[in-house]
Amino acid sequence: MDVIRALTLCGGVARRPVLARLGVSDAALRRAVRAGLPQPARGLYALPTAAPADVALLLGRQLLTCISAAPFYRLWTVAPAELRHVRHHRGVAADGEVAHRQLILPPHPHRPVAALGDVLIHALRCLPPRESLVMVECAVGRGEMTVQFLQERLPGKRNGKARQVLGWVDRGAESLLETLARTTFRQAGIHVDTQVHIKGVGHVDLLLEGWLVVELDGRQHGEWAQVKKDHQRNNRSVVQGYTVLRYYYADVVHRPERMLAEVLAVLAGPGGARKARS
């Protein structure tokens, strides 16, 4: 493989051993350097377009992990990382970074990123529960990870909180909003079914206590045609005896307490009492 193609595969920057595994010879590297290929440090090669942050990772012999590796693995996140989370074998991190040390799997073969399993384990140990939950559930839902694999690698009392998060993982979630809303309701003791099919309506996101439909909408601005369809679905649900509530991204992510309070009020109201008697 030629040098430029190999570096492109590596995200623009790589060390000599990685390039060698891709079939790049030392002679090819010397020719590329003589032709002007940047060499930020001995044994490190970069394209002119390489991101400075990626070059800095390799200069520091670090790997992205935890929430900072979520974009690489296309994992759901509640919010972008405020600090960069990195793995260094000595646990070393600079200002603006969070250090992680232990690895149980080989890192990505071409990129300065920890393996998916380590990324999720670091997230479970490091992040608030709902932030690590959405990352894990995204990977589990796509079949890229199993809860059992993570549980077996999180033994002992010090990992108790991480295992509690794994107890809330549900493989059927289709979105970050569904994961967060479903968990909010279940942790409040509400029975929740997901992706329930209602005749004449289709699949609804969540069905609470068998009669309260909760629909989730991640759009910032809905188009009028889709809004009309949503209202028609709501009407058909109500005609069949269901009650319908609809929540948006800001409700689920930023105001979950208010959303839960409204749901509990509906469940405890006259409609809920009628359903309990029927």
Report the pLDDT value the prediction gives residue 278, as an integer from 0 to 100.
52
Residue 177's nearest CA partner among 214, 142, 203 is: 214
pTM of the complete model: 0.87
Q: How far apart (Å, rounded) are the C-alpha atoms in residues 164 and 181?
A: 17
Report the pLDDT value the prediction gives residue 16, as an integer from 0 to 100.
95
Residues 231, 162 share a domain: no
- Asked whether residue 132 is assigned to any structural domain, the reply reads yes
Task: Single out the residue in 142, 166, 190 at which a domain terminates.
Answer: 166
Rounded mean pLDDT for each run of 10 residues along the chain, 278 residues in total: 95 96 96 95 95 92 95 95 87 80 93 97 96 97 96 94 95 90 97 91 91 84 58 67 90 96 92 55
Report the pLDDT value the prediction gives residue 27, as an integer from 0 to 100.
96
Q: Residue 204 maps to which CATH number?
A: 3.40.960.10
Report the pLDDT value the prediction gives residue 200, as an integer from 0 to 100.
84
Residues 161, 75 share a domain: yes
The residue range of the domain holding 215 is 176-277
Residues 127, 34 share a domain: no
Q: Which stretches of the chain are DSSP H helices?
A: 3-9, 16-21, 26-34, 52-59, 70-73, 116-126, 129-141, 147-152, 160-166, 176-187, 224-239, 249-254, 256-268, 270-277
- Asked whether residue 58 is assigned to any structural domain, the reply reads no
Report the pLDDT value the prediction gives residue 219, as an integer from 0 to 100.
64
Residues 46, 88 share a domain: no
Asked if 136 contacts 165 with a C-beta cutoff of 8 angstroms, the reply is: yes
Amino acid 272 reads G
- Asked whether residue 25 is assigned to any structural domain, the reply reads yes
Residues 198, 237 share a domain: yes
Per the structure, the count of domains in the chain is: 3
Report the pLDDT value the prediction gives residue 174, as an integer from 0 to 100.
87
Residues 158, 75 share a domain: yes
DSSP 37-62: ---SBTTEEE-TT--HHHHHHHHTT-
Task: Single out the residue in 131, 166, 201 at which a domain terminates.
Answer: 166
- Asked whether residue 171 is assigned to any structural domain, the reply reads no
Residues 89, 16 share a domain: no
Task: Single out the residue in 166, 195, 220 at which a domain terminates.
Answer: 166
- Asked whether residue 55 is assigned to any structural domain, the reply reads no
